[in-house]
């Protein structure tokens, strides 16, 4: 199949592109490079030995998206093109609602015009909100989110479900990620946040490579074994494999299907720091800070449905995640922007 990756030059999109190409699919990437870099596309081609059709395009722009559908015979769309920083979403809610929801609506409208009926959505465990018990299971109702980013994921899931109810030809797979970390084992592609990282692992990696002088851990008084928050961390390559299986599943599926993609094992912030140190022989300077608004003490996935239906399971452990992150960061101390200076 030919798969359009909206936001395909980003962290998860680039790793998914590699796995799709290695599995024999064709890939078309649309990305405005607002939180990614064109060099990622070159690296995808380098790793796979295959050509990628790519467009510099804002997925909110219907004319640009129509052009992509007109020039390529797309069989399936994977939607990665979203703003994703929780704190920034609190400061810029209108921008988040506009971008994340408009990209989804534009893709749906242009898909319908082009006769494309398979949609895989990059969702998030954040849709379970604050009320549900752990581990999270797909049958749970969506909960109340603590930030606009989370609410955009809830709203987009609702939009996709409503669209599928109205159009029996539309197949939607909702992939609820937990906490993706790690990088391709080659070290050629990885997570490359612009500006100050919002997530734990890239921040640790930037401390390790000397771009940050220390890590601040937000809260050490949570009701967890060591007082720091616990999350379900999943290797990005396992996550990418989940997307390949979702695309294959969507070929014959009908309606809307939801899958959790996680390991089912929670690790604390301190677990991550110490495993990174052990795996790579590097000390990470850190200090404790106050709790951060909106952080839940802990959550993790029940991913049995993905195992049973997609024959998918996470294969890589926390040591692998930490080792592959450092392999990427030490080879690319300034990410894809080598020689351009920090954070440009």
* Catalytically active residues, by annotation: 149
Interacting residues of 96 by C-beta distance below 8 A, sequence separation 6+: 83, 88, 89, 148, 149, 152
Question: Which residues, other chains included, contact 185 with Cβ-Cβ below 8 Å and sequence gap of 6+?
Answer: 237, 324, 327
| Upstream peptide bond of 277 is cis (omega within 30 degrees of 0) | no
Three-state SS for the chain is CEEEEECCCCHHHHHHHHHHHHCCCEEEEEECCCCCCCHHHHHHHHHHCCCCEEEECCCCCHHHHHHHHHHCCCCEEEECCCCCCHHHHHHCHHHHHHHHHHHHHHHHHHHHHHCCCEEEEEEEHHHHCCCCCCCECCCCCCCCCCCHHHHHHHHHHHHHHHHHHHCCCCEEEEEEECEEECCCCCCCCCCCCCCCCCCHHHHHHHHHCCCCCCEEEECCCCCCCCCCCEEEEEEHHHHHHHHHHHHHHHCCCCEEEEEEECCCCEEEHHHHHHHHHHHHCCCCCEEEECCCCCCCCECCECCHHHHHHHCCCCCCCHHHHHHHHHHHHHHCCCCCCCCCCCCC
- Tokens for 201, please give them: 């692992």
Instruction: Look up residue 37 and give its two tokens.
Output: 């870099």
């Amino acid at each position: 199949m030919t798969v359009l990756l909206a936001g395909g030059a980003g962290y998860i999109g680039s790793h998914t592109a590699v796995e799709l190409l290695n599995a024999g699919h064709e890939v078309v990437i649309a990305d405005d490079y607002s939180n990614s870099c064109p060099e990622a596309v070159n690296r995808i081609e380098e790793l796979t030995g295959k050509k990628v059709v790519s467009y510099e395009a804002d997925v909110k722009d219907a004319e640009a998206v129509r052009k992509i559908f007109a020039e390529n015979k797309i069989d399936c769309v994977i939607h990665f093109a979203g703003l994703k920083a929780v704190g920034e979403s609190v400061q810029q809610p209108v921008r988040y609602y506009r971008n994340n929801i408009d990209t989804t609506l534009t893709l749906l409208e242009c898909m319908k015009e082009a006769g494309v009926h398979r949609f895989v959505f990059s969702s998030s465990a954040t849709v379970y909100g604050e009320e549900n018990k752990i581990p999270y299971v797909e049958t749970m109702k969506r909960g109340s989110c603590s930030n606009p980013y989370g609410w955009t994921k809830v709203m987009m899931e609702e939009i996709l479900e409503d669209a599928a109810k109205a159009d029996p030809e539309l197949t939607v797979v909702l992939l609820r990620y937990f906490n993706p970390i790690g990088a391709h084992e080659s070290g050629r592609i990885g997570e490359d946040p612009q500006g100050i990282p919002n997530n734990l692992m890239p921040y640790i990696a930037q401390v390790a490579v000397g771009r940050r002088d220390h890590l601040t851990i937000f809260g050490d008084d949570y009701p967890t074994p060591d007082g720091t928050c616990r999350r379900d961390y999943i290797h990005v390559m396992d996550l990418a494999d989940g997307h390949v299986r979702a695309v294959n599943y969507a070929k014959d599926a009908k309606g809307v299907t939801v899958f959790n993609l996680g390991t089912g094992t929670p690790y604390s912030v301190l677990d991550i720091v110490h495993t990174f140190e052990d795996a790579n022989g590097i000390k990470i300077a850190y200090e404790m800070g106050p709790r951060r608004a909106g952080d839940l003490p802990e959550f993790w996935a029940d991913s049995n449905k993905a195992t049973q239906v997609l024959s998918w399971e996470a294969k890589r452990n926390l040591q692998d995640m930490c080792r592959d992150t450092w392999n990427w960061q030490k080879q690319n101390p300034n990410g894809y922007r080598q020689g351009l200076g920090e954070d440009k």
